[in-house]
A and B are shown apart, each in its own frame.
Chain A
Amino acid sequence: MKPLSVCVIGNSHAAAIKQAWSNRSPGAAEDATLTFFCAKAQLMRNMALMDGALTPTEPELEKMFRYTSGGHDRIELADYDAFILIGLGFRFSLTQVCDDCGTQAHANWGPVGQLVSTACFRAMIESHLKDNMALQLMAEIRSATGAPILICPTPFRTETDLRENLVRRNPRMTEYDFCASVMDEVEEVGSAMAAEHKGEVVWQDEATVSLPGFTRAEFSVGAVKFSDGDAEAGDADGMHMNEDYGRITLAAALARFGVTSGLGEGTHTQPEAPPPPAELSEKQRRRTAKRENRKRLKRERRRA
């Protein structure tokens, strides 16, 4: 059977995915081929849909496309069976949105500086998630093809983002149930936005999450990002993630296309809980994983 031809379009966050793909074990994900089109976020804006192809309007982006894809100077949409959009501004920052602001329900987890209605809080989430290149590209690709399109959002900031002064000001930021309630709504709103273009969001895998909305710090150690087209390891900046993260994320995305990746588990220590049964729906699987993650966090806190 012909392998699934997957087009991966992304900014610096695609580097972790690219590295996970390049370093996959022999024989892994044989039923898929991946072509990467990546560049820094500012450059990626210089692209337009022309004659069924996403075409760079700046020579520098064209150069990056050739480099990262292995010779293609544009993205011929008809050439691919599926699309994965990595990062590209589709992100949610719990600390930014909830800092000093919340609903009456949020006040149950600590004082709220600025009280907003539930509807307004939802609009804040919508405002935060919209107007990014990932959704724009999803719309453009959808206008030209019926192929499945996924967004892998920008990774959550690592838990180190929870600085002391922020936590002192907003103690609810460290409350699992508060973070989970916000992130559940974020997933609902974000998924609905993607569904408008008949696309899906591959929300960050629970294995990479500490408190909902925050990435476990170990995934930013040895983070990779693009530097002149090469995926390079750099210092942990709390935003970019490493190959282990890329492996988990890519496996989750390919699974949506029915591709059994076999990408391996990487060097990262997986959560102690066993993986949820495969027959569960995606929503049930995520919920179970969240529950297990919560238990794990509690255990870790007790130990600490």
Chain B
Amino acid sequence: MKSPYTDRNPKAFWRSGVSEAHPLTIADLYTKKFEIAQSDQIATAGSCFAQHVARYLRANGYSIMDVEPPPAALSDEAAAKFGYKIYSARFGNIYTVRQLLQLARDAESGSASEADIWTKDGRFYDALRPNVELDGFETVEETLALRRDHLAKVKRMFEKMDILIFTLGLTEAWVDARTGRVFPTAPGTIAGEYDPKIHVFKNFGFNEIHDDFVEFHDLIRSWNPDVRIILTVSPVPLTATASNDHVLLATTYSKSVLRAVAGALAHENGNIDYFPSYEMIASPWSKGFFYDANMRSVNPGGVAAVMRVFFEQHGGSAKAEPQAAASEEDSRRARRGQKRKEKRRAKNGQSAEEEAVCEELLLEAFAP
């Protein structure tokens, strides 16, 4: 008797594909949908997990776009503090698809509004990317001027990129009820003040996220018809939820919806690929190996394992070291920096995730 499963590849069976496979030697998990040439201009954006992807791609010789590079006189440490060199532009973490769509719409209009400015201790914050200027701006005018400048560069990024790698992070967000604007952090976390009459909690559903992405996709394809997109879902659980659910349920909902949207979009569009970093880190198959003791932060081994699978398909060696093409002095400096970083991390017990710029972690400060 023949079953439709008889001739399936071993990867189709849980026992051979997962139970008997080691997380570090996984095979056939991901098959690329399209090629990435080293000359392709790659833009990266999304939640904090996306920062690791950008770092690995850059180290492996891919052309990661940086339309807002740091000024030459700024030290690496200060550059990171000011949101430079984290993504392809200084937009900070983009946790929700609504945020991504909003950014593309803003880039199209080029306009900035005073309504999107938060204040704290007499300083002014761009509420749509409060983490890039942790000490805030001096004036409202400066905040708006820098935002307009940023949007012009983001527009250029959308127009010029060959590939966008976007990591979907959250379904939960805070929205300004007056303007409908969505923020990357809750008001009152970095700056601003939470006003329950103005700031409304929103937990996006499948259709909303899917429709937002479709609108985003249509918009950027009107500027850049040949763009290709790789979607990933962040395996990092929620730090906190504003829903009334237990944080574990809220995480499961959030990640399930995002995973389903990413799968649907990849299924519907020939130019959208899904890369399964979420499954590699978060599924029972990895037995929790890739999480730190807090069962939330992804450790460097996890990031390396994910990127190994990516490079098996796309070439490269998953190295996160500086390029051989870099000057000897650059390499020495980078090694010194890396050593300092490792020492600091060891001292502070930091994980790769905590090292990434992740304002969501700030919510932990509000935990009882």
Contact = CB atoms under 8 A, between A and B. Distances in A.
Interface of A: 96-97, 101, 103-104, 114-120, 123-128, 130-131
A128 B73 contact: yes
B71 A124 contact: yes
B74 A120 contact: yes
A119 B133 contact: yes
Interface of B: 71-75, 78, 81-82, 133, 135-138, 141-142, 145-146, 149
A124 to B, nearest CB: 4
B82 A123 contact: yes
Nearest to B81: A123
B133 A101 contact: no
Contact of A118 (B75, B81, B142): B142
Given A118-B137, A119-B137, A126-B78, 6 more contacts: A96-B72, A101-B72, A117-B137, A124-B74, A127-B73, A127-B78
Nearest to A125: B73
B135 A119 contact: yes
24 contacts: A96-B73, A97-B73, A101-B71, A101-B73, A104-B141, A115-B145, A115-B146, A116-B71, A117-B82, A117-B138, A118-B138, A119-B82, A119-B135, A119-B138, A120-B71, A123-B74, A123-B82, A124-B73, A127-B74, A127-B75, A127-B78, A128-B73, A130-B75, A131-B75
Contact of B149 (A101, A115, A125, A131): A115
Given A123-B78, A123-B82, A117 B73 contact: no
Q: Main SS of the interface on chain A?
A: helix
The 3 closest A-B pairs by CB, nearest first: A127-B75, A124-B73, A123-B78
A116 B71 CA distance: 8
B333 to A, nearest CB: 11
A164 to B, nearest CB: 21
Contact of B133 (A96, A117, A125, A130): A117
A125 B74 CA distance: 8
Contacts of B75: 123, 127, 130-131
B81 A117 contact: no
Nearest to B136: A119
A114 B71 contact: yes
A120 B73 contact: no
Nearest to A120: B82
Given A97-B73, A116-B71, A104 B81 contact: no
Nearest to B145: A104
Contacts of B149: 115
A104 B78 contact: no
Contacts of B73: 96-97, 101, 124-125, 127-128
Nearest to A97: B73
A96 B71 CA distance: 10
